[in-house]
Amino acid sequence: MLSTLVRGALVVTLALGSTLVVVTGPAEAGATRYKNCTALNKKYKHGVGRKGAKDKVRGSTKPVTNFTVSDSVYAKNTHLDRDKDKVACEKR
């Protein structure tokens, strides 16, 4: 009896697990690796950064705050983050 219940639970678990649907936002749907900042800025006008990232600035300039937040797009383009502040290709 117990093994029948265990088998039934296993079948239900496998059936539910195989129908898992992942919903992504528009930025995550097609995370692309860009060759340079000019190419990235065509799609993401003010750059792209990780959640919680803050633009690092020097002097009296204000940080860029209107960059697109997307962990997956940033992960594909870390090579474009020269100052390592978790925001790639930040631009006003």
Read off the amino acid at residue 67: F
pLDDT in tens, 47-70: 999 999 999 998 888 999 999 999
In this prediction, residues 71-87 reach a mean pLDDT of 97
Question: Residues 12-50: pLDDT tens digits?
Answer: 555 555 443 444 455 455 699 999 999 999 999 999 999
**Residue 76 banded pLDDT, cuts 50, 70, 90:** very high
Q: Which two tokens stand for residue 46?
A: 């003010």
Q: What is the largest CA-CA distance in the chain?
A: 74
Say whether pLDDT at 75 is over 70: yes
Q: What is the CA radius of gyration of the chain?
A: 21
